[in-house]
Amino acid sequence: MEGKRMNGTLRQILLMTDGHSNYGEDPVAIARLAQEYDVTVNVIGITDENRENEKGLQEVEAIALAGGGVSEIVFARQLAKTVQMVTRKAMTQTLHGVVNQELKQILGQNDEMEDLPPEKRGQVMEVVDDLGEKVLLEVLVLIDTSASMTNKLPMVQEALLDLSISLNSRSGDTKFSLYSFPGKRNPIERLLDWTPKLQSLTATFTKLSTAGMTPTGPALQAALQVFEERRGKRRLEDDENEQRQGRFGF
């Protein structure tokens, strides 16, 4: 599976929240499940200068650790730079893991990238950087819209627009989708379907309302399902293309 991912797609959930979950499944367990499905979970914990939420911040770190991703706790006014950094750092971290798996198959189970001579390690890092620029990246952005996020959403919107510009400067393709939670009838609500750019965020954010609890676990589970449905649809399309090519002798 790891080798296939190296030549395929990096999938990330970017969870943006300001508080600990208070409803539904354990988000840490769901994040661990996501990693098994080849989806990395990154978490940005948004706080303000007058509020301390130690339990919520601990949960942010635990979710990212279980999901194989990166976590950062930031003030809302510092959000823009952090979102870019977390997403790129997670991408590099995932590629390091993939490369290490490949190296273990070549060098043996007890050897990793850090065990290579400096010159060889530098060459491997160049490969990782090159892959980071070229690989297809899919980012599902999951925004907490519980009541306490009301004053933070304008900064979230600004940060996501910056993220879109930054990641689309890569030579590889990037696709985003945008979901909020809690949804009105489902754990998450789709705000924007898969797209390479997030310019239409402005119209989307004006429709957002904040209220309710913080069902982070069910939201992550539903986001994982979005990836699985997308993967299933892609496999079906690939099969149909292969059959069509075989039928017409392409």
Q: At what angle do helices 118-134 and 79-107 cross, to 10 degrees?
A: 120
pLDDT digits (tens, 9 = 90+) for 89-126: 887 887 777 777 776 666 666 666 677 788 877 877 78
Q: Which helix (H) or strand (E) holds 226?
A: helix 216-248
Looking at per-residue pLDDT, the higher value among 65 and 129 belongs to: 65
Mean predicted confidence (pLDDT) in 52-63: 80
pTM for the full model? 0.83
pLDDT digits (tens, 9 = 90+) for 139-194: 999 999 988 788 888 888 888 888 888 888 888 899 999 999 998 888 999 999 99
Q: At what angle do helices 54-66 and 27-36 cross, to 10 degrees?
A: 20
Of all residues in the chain, the percent with pLDDT exceeding 90 is 29
* CA 109-114-119 angle, 5° bins: 120
Residue in 162, 5, 197 with CA at minimum distance from that of residue 79: 162
Residue 109: C-alpha distances to residues 97, 117, 127 (Å): 13, 17, 21
Say if CB 105 and CB 119 are below 8 A apart. no
79 pLDDT exceeds 70? yes
**Domains in the chain with CATH codes:** 9-246 (3.40.50.410)
